[in-house]
Amino acid sequence: MKECLINHTIKLVSINSVIGNEKKIADYVEDFLLKYFPSSNIIRHSNSLIAFTDFNLHKRTICLLGHIDTVPGSNDYTGKVIDNRIYGLGASDMKGGLAVMMTLIEYLKDKDSNYNLIYVFYEKEEGPYRDNGLEPLLKEYDIIQRADLVFALEPTNNTVQLGCLGTMHAWVMFKGKRAHSARPWEGDNAIHKAHNLLKKLSEFGRVEYDFDGLKFYEVINATMCHFSGGRNIIPEEFKLNLNYRFAPGKSIQQAKMNLIEFVGDEVEIEFTDVSPAGRVCKDNLLVMELVSKYNLKIEAKQAWTDVGRLSEYGIDAVNFGPGDPAQAHQRNEYIPIDNLMESFNVLSGFILS
């Protein structure tokens, strides 16, 4: 199957699918799926796809899920194999994972699986939470909700990463009075008003949350700023974008209240993008079977993935994929071929065991 994994990955990275430009790769994936599934078992919604085997009520259900878009970027070696690595934009995040899904579809076509299987290929993961292509699939169809466990094939180096941090962005706004910078006493500098908050942010560090031995770290950072005026003007308005990464177990409302309390009531706050945390489903029997059978390492997901979105729908999910997290969004991104093989061997063995 090594050749299949390599060929699928090379073909996928050769198709430009920067977020918002997913039609070509969705068409390619749909053509592939039609070779292995009847059209009645394929759902296409915009540029997202679901394919599924016929359901047997006596079997449990596994879903394999991956996004088809990438961030913008460049790669000087697209489609080349160098030192047992495949290069291309999105190779690790996460077209290598998609290649594993497609190879599994080919491999399992004539085999009797112990599970009902659902495969999801979806658009617009790399953008705002509200535009994500997985959301309409969950809202308008109930098939993913049938899964006893979802594997999100995000890059994890084939480590099982449980849960995920929630994340929110918010503008914190400071108001002052405009003046000439030569006569600052005639105004009120909005930038200077942020010094107390910036000091608190610099001293925040991280707050640890323990989930049965898995440690998540809450952090708050200023990531962008905006001001009114010019370099010789005392600004009347200054805004900081705060990014708060919050622990599993907290609702969005709780996290919002935490951030409001942190910044204080002397400034305005406007939430712009909010994504829920993911449940740490260490109690899911399929997770424990997988980890035990293949002696896999378990980690906390110190980032956000659509495991959080799935948790909002009551669906247990884990992050498990062949990509190298350190390669995600990098120039000249690559994926090790050995990672592809390991991921395929674990998932195919588990599905058939």
Positions marked active-site: 69, 125
Query: Two tokens at 189?
Result: 């500098």
Residue 198 one-letter amino acid: L
In DSSP terms, which residues pair with 175 in a beta bridge?
237
Measured between alpha carbons, how far is 19 from 67 in angstroms, rounded to an integer? 10
Q: How far is CA 118 from the centre of its chain?
A: 19
Within 10 A of 226 (CB to CB), how many other CB atoms are there?
12
Helix (H) or strand (E) holding 156: none
Measured between alpha carbons, how far is 241 from 239 in angstroms, rounded to an integer? 7
Measured between alpha carbons, how far is 76 from 160 in angstroms, rounded to an integer? 31
Place of tokens 């180096």: 157
Burial of 74 (0-12, 13-18, 19+ CB in 10 A): exposed
